[in-house]
Structure 1
Amino acid sequence: MSRSERKIDHIRHAISHEREIHNHFDDIEIVHQSLARLNFEDIQMNIQVGELYLSSPLFVNAMTGGGGEETMAINRNLAIAAKETGIGMAVGSQMSALKNVEERKTYEIVREMNPEGVIFANVGSEATLDQAREAVRMLHADALQIHINTLQEMIMPEGDRDFSQRMHRIQDIIDHIDVPVIVKEVGYGMSKETADTLYQMGVRHLDVGGRGGTNFSRVENMRRERAYTSFNNWGIPTPVSVLETSISDDLHVFASGGVRNGLDGAKAMVLGAKGFGMAGSLLKILVNEGREALTEEIHHILHEFKIAMMLQNALHPKKLNGKPHVMLGYTKQWYDQRMN
């Protein structure tokens, strides 16, 4: 199977497979505050996350590209929706375009459709410094995501098996590239040990990519003759991963993986995240209902988030951090064993 065919296969499986029955954001309850003191119209949504300036904490997270006309159409519509709603956007892995010039247009369409927007480039941890620079140039990107997806690669029939040079390559990119670097998981979450290692390397932006959204173990298992089903529930749920990685005020954490709505985004920021990404749920709306429905959904999510801010008297998204909340069930058990 070619790389472009695999990209299309991923999209088909990602929008069709069922999510976990329990979403761990339901383990978090924000404590209601009755005495609102703000004018809703005065609430600000823009936020600075380290070196990044975003018009809202929500961004469209990495999904696709490199799959010919079909993925180009998806990225075109995602970029238009991001422009219309004023939010940032990450593209899927650009490794295919770095290896096949014909696939560049499936990514370049994002900057073409959204010339003034905040866009994150994306490469795998196998990328060299030169490839990372080219990925940024391709999109005139504002930041670079480096995705780490060890388990996905191990289950993927044609996946990588050698990660012995990963740390060296990531360090080289961090030390020499001239845009912020966001190290991103793809659905398995990040531990405090991982966060600490990356922080010591100089990383200041993480996307935890926690368990709860698109499950790439299941996606890749659907493509195998004999599945490794024992890994279908592997990983750290997103709210837990936010707690695990909030190790320093200058390590800026994005929450993604299973974020369903603006309230989940607010919960992530109460726990310590500086922003939140959504991918699979937005892709499903785009594919099934069209771009106008997607734009409407993004506006709805942003309004939900703003209502949560109002209910916590948070004039700015950063003011949500540490607001009164309760942890229940699995998340509370994990917190008690790992962080107390």
Structure 2
Amino acid sequence: MRKKRKREHIENYLRTTYKGDTLFEDIFIEHNSLPNLNFSDIDTTTNFLGKEVGCPIIINAMTGGSEFAHEINRELSLIAKEYNIPMAVGSQTIALCDDVECRESFSIVRETIGDDGIVIANLSAQSSIDDVEKALDMIKADAIQLHLNPAQEIVMLEGDRDFRGILENIETIAKTIDKPVIVKEVGFGVSKEVATKLYNIGIRNIDISGFGGTNFIEIENIRYNSIDFSELYSWGIPTALSLIKCRELPKDLNIISSGGIRSSMDIVKSLILGGQMVGISGEILSYLLHGGYENVRDYMEATTHKMKIIMVLLGKKNIEELKTTEYKIIGDLKELLNSR
């Protein structure tokens, strides 16, 4: 059943039509006519989880658990290796059984990327310590994402309905395992209040996964259409808003900006607003499913090239300089922040 659901999620993603607004358009950054830089000197490398990466992009969690997912993960891991960027696998719950095919659809990522690359495991935040350790070992992971997805689960026909004790479980996991824990939403955003609760129990890595990208309420609605959930498609915290509010927490909280990240401008603005890294999933998946490895490679080439162009036009030579860029908040985002 899980295998069938995983495939349906991918197929239904291609059928979704609702487009949410990340509100990145409401971030204004100023042009610099005297950048005093050479384009060839622009440096996009940065450090993440103790390793140097080619640029601050993570191929974020997508899928696993079937022959179909095996091929997707193989091609995505080739991209991660070529560009020296981290890759997170999809939820490994399906692979915790003794199904060799399931496990191989995840282990292919580490096999392809190699020991020097960064691979991130993924399980529900409700998972046991034993399952977390198995997931980490399965792919020799550098860290684990513990995903929060109550909005998806509550509309899923076979989804969870009991969300008690999750914060306490995250704390137990974080204090028990010897690898970094990244708490990740799945597309509805993390509020400052939730981020504060996570910070107070020792979590120092949060993937906000805001509203504006993959909409799992719509995806589940396509699977289970006896109840119309379309009035909930707009539910969530826009990525830019979530990022700004979470960045009000202490600087030792590392924030991954994800949720509707599609362009080089989205990446640059995410870093300027305080993201350490930027996670992309839906956009990369679309390029892969519509044209394979070479299509994703073309997307990565264009995106990183345009990112460097924007850095020149801001007069910022490297990622650390880029993060010091001043910005102005306008439009609906300004109104939302002023009303809080």
TM-score range, shorter chain: over 0.9
Q: Is the 8 A contact 2:49 2:142 kept in 1?
A: no
The residue that corresponds to 1:274 in the other structure is 276
Q: Is the 8 A contact 1:15 1:280 kept in 2?
A: no
Residue 333 of structure 1: CA displacement? 1.1
Query: Cα gap change, 1:21/1:245 in structure 2, threshold over 3 Å: closer, same or farther?
Result: closer
Amino acid corresponding to residue 220 of structure 1 in structure 2: E
**CA distances 1:9-65 after superposition (whole Å, capped 9, x unpaired):** 000111221241644221222111111122222222221246554331011110000
Residue 235 of structure 1: CA displacement? 0.4
The residue that corresponds to 2:5 in the other structure is 6
Amino acid corresponding to residue 75 of structure 2 in structure 1: N
Q: Is the 8 A contact 1:84 1:295 kept in 2?
A: no
**CA distances 1:160-187 after superposition (whole Å, capped 9, x unpaired):** 1112121222111111211111110000
Residue 258 of structure 1: CA displacement? 0.7
The residue that corresponds to 2:301 in the other structure is 299
Whether 1:208 aligns to 2:192 is no
1:144-183 aligned at under 5 Å gives the runs 144-183=144-183
The residue that corresponds to 1:71 in the other structure is 69
Aligned length: 336
- Partner SS, residue 58 of structure 2: strand
The residue that corresponds to 2:93 in the other structure is 95
1:32-47 aligned at under 5 Å gives the runs 32-47=31-46
Cα separation, 2, equivalents of 1:90 and 1:240: 24
Q: Is the 8 A contact 1:90 1:122 kept in 2?
A: yes
Cα separation, 2, equivalents of 1:232 and 1:99: 33
Which is further off, 240-249 or 93-102? Answer: 93-102
Q: For structure 2, list consecutive stretches of 5 or more residues without a partner in the other structure.
A: none
> % of aligned pairs identical?
38
- Partner SS, residue 159 of structure 2: coil
Q: Is the 8 A contact 2:21 2:238 kept in 1?
A: no
1:186-335 aligned at under 5 Å gives the runs 186-224=186-224, 225-246=226-247, 247-335=249-337
Residue 134 of structure 1: CA displacement? 1.1
Residue 100 of structure 1: CA displacement? 4.7
Cα separation, 2, equivalents of 1:83 and 1:212: 28
- Partner SS, residue 12 of structure 1: helix
The residue that corresponds to 1:29 in the other structure is 28
Which is further off, 155-164 or 13-22? Answer: 13-22
Cα separation, 1, equivalents of 2:27 and 2:90: 30
Q: Is the 8 A contact 1:50 1:204 kept in 2?
A: no
- Partner SS, residue 339 of structure 2: helix
Q: CA RMSD in A?
A: 1.5
TM-score by length of 1: 0.95
Cα separation, 1, equivalents of 2:117 and 2:29: 32
Query: Cα gap change, 1:165/1:52 in structure 2, threshold over 3 Å: closer, same or farther?
Result: farther
- Partner SS, residue 44 of structure 1: coil
Cα separation, 1, equivalents of 2:152 and 2:231: 13
Q: Is the 8 A contact 1:211 1:238 kept in 2?
A: yes
Amino acid corresponding to residue 153 of structure 1 in structure 2: E
Q: Is the 8 A contact 2:35 2:316 kept in 1?
A: no
Q: For structure 1, list consecutive stretches of 5 or more residues without a partner in the other structure.
A: none
Cα separation, 1, equivalents of 2:227 and 2:277: 38
TM-score by length of 2: 0.95
Query: Cα gap change, 1:74/1:183 in structure 2, threshold over 3 Å: closer, same or farther?
Result: same
Whether 1:84 aligns to 2:86 is no
Query: Cα gap change, 1:169/1:51 in structure 2, threshold over 3 Å: closer, same or farther?
Result: farther
